[in-house]
Chain A
């Protein structure tokens, strides 16, 4: 499983859950729980990039933020370099945050419009008590690394294009020299011609700073490009976890198979059979019993409603949570598409 010389486990989640209360009525009584993340085990090894992929509402962003304790988990444990993050005091958590940073999708919403680049990027250094003199040098240095010159120091976020703002967001995350960076949809708001600039930059910075990435995104092609291993999420659970190459070559879970076949590919004439899933994703307030994917699954059998399939190994560390993992989707569910 060691890919790209990945080392020991850097961060590990065990049975992590995050429920959000649903409130209704005059008294805002809790009438239900959104099972955003519902029992996830995940490990990320030092030096690797783990991709977390899934459709909107699957819990991937919540999981990414919960791992950094930007959101408090409802239950479960998270360990970073062997230490339990979930039980850290505020002070200890602040110290730990130096090593764990996040890059957001929305570079407009996450950068204070009234702050200059110098202060935006230097903010983390100030919080962690780095002396003023040293701060300036480190800010200039990290800006240079992300491809922004010294002349940008005094500018405000609105004076930059979307791609450049994302570079500021990356500089902000990297200035503290973190070990782990959670990148939450870092390129999905960018134009196609700008996406590749930022993706190449993230690949380069990972090598320069020896970073470990958790890359959260909905675009499987982008996730596949940047990741060593990929976890596929559906309705709060990881349904498959494998190396990128293995996942594309041998998707075992029917959801992964459908997801892969649903992506439109810019190669005219390559009209492979597509698995079109019926219906919508069920509500995370009241997820289906047993396997959560069974309501849309072409392979579903009675057992799928009764027993929840565990995430188990199917060789070479390829994990899948399906009673019928590896079964090909029957032909009637495949549709040739296009002209």
Chain B
């Protein structure tokens, strides 16, 4: 299958006085046209910087390394002249952020903001742009859209603002939408509305979605494939079903077992991942999960590459000779 997006060896570092902050440090993944890929990770895992790097929206002192490659629809985005990149941003690739209040301009009516992007990218003028804005607001299910066209962002609720963001992102028929924690700021019943909207729009419009989130539940419900990030690197990737039911990397496994499932009680102790997330100034040597890993052994002092364990890939030396056997982790046995 033709890949819409191919990210290879992506490194985005932030230079600072105390040394380089290696936020994204060798990330590889691909996304097929019309597919939905989730990137999950905790804060500091580098998932958001990965998203910004694809769009080349990282500001100094952040820097994307020369050997990094972001191939979108046959074009290398890391070296594309800024002017050409501008015609891709917002048109072929668009973004939806967590907090629409900070991404929407508070002094312009929402209809005007959607129309603006249509005018820039589509060279459509006046009425036609406004008509497109109205069409988009209706598409994302905003009630009384013609009246809402002239509303300002502060007049809308959080859920409605996120719908406006999605309308704006879709206005130029993008091939790819990058959604960075699009429902994290929303309440769960509003989140359900937005997720349903995204799933429905994907069905109708056929765009690919790169969904960045810390919520494993959202990934399970929305995505075909998943990339699990830890400490600036991909630790596991593959189809959601296999990664979630038979995780091959100890981090993925521990993460899935550490969250209480709906209906679980104290009778079942939660898996604990000891210690805390390491600092990007000073990643642990070798496998970065090693200091917190229940299975660490001698070999882990070497950084493991992504090893293929069909249908997924896992950056763990335990997968060197094929799939890991499911076994209770040492910490659970003790308990």
A residues bordering B, Cβ < 8 Å?
Answer: 55-56, 161-164, 191-197, 199-200, 203, 218, 220-222, 224-226, 244-245, 248, 258-271, 274, 276-278, 280-281, 335, 337-339
- A129 smallest CB distance to B (angstroms): 36
- Of the A-B pairs whose beta carbons lie under 8 Å apart in the complex, a sample of 13, sorted by A's number, is A56-B187, A162-B276, A163-B276, A192-B255, A193-B254, A195-B259, A196-B258, A203-B266, A264-B220, A266-B220, A277-B189, A277-B192, A337-B192
Interface residues as binary, B215-249 with A (CB distance below 8 Å gives 1, 0 otherwise): 11111111110000000000000001100110000
Whether A196 pairs with B262 at a CB distance below 8 angstroms is no
Q: A196-B259, A264-B195, A280-B157 are in contact. List 13 more A-B contacts (CB 8 A).
A: A55-B187, A191-B43, A195-B258, A200-B272, A224-B262, A225-B264, A225-B265, A248-B263, A266-B256, A267-B220, A276-B192, A277-B189, A339-B222
Q: Chain B contacts of A200 at CB under 8 A?
A: 269-270, 272
Which of A197, A259, A266 has the most chain B CB atoms closer than 10 A to its own CB? A266
- A227 smallest CB distance to B (angstroms): 9
From A162, A197, A262, B188 is in contact (CB under 8 Å) with: A262
- A5 smallest CB distance to B (angstroms): 14
Closest to A245 in B: B265
From A55, A192, A203, A274, B258 is in contact (CB under 8 Å) with: A192
Which of B196, B216, B254, B259 has the most chain A CB atoms closer than 10 A to its own CB? B259
Q: Chain A contacts of B269 at CB under 8 A?
A: 200
Whether B277 pairs with A193 at a CB distance below 8 angstroms is yes
Closest to B158 in A: A280
- B290 smallest CB distance to A (angstroms): 15
Within 8 A of A (CB), among B153-170: 157, 159-160
A276-B192, A280-B190 are contacts. A221–B261 as well, Cβ < 8 Å?
yes
Whether B276 pairs with A164 at a CB distance below 8 angstroms is yes
Whether B196 pairs with A258 at a CB distance below 8 angstroms is no
- B232 smallest CB distance to A (angstroms): 15
A263-B262, A264-B218, A267-B244 are contacts. A225–B189 as well, Cβ < 8 Å?
no
Closest to B222 in A: A338
Whether A224 pairs with B263 at a CB distance below 8 angstroms is yes
For the complex, what is the distance from the CA of A271 to the CA of B276, rounded to whole Å? 33
For the complex, what is the distance from the CA of A330 to the CA of B284, rounded to whole Å? 54
Interface residues as binary, B50-72 with A (CB distance below 8 Å gives 1, 0 otherwise): 00000000000000000000000
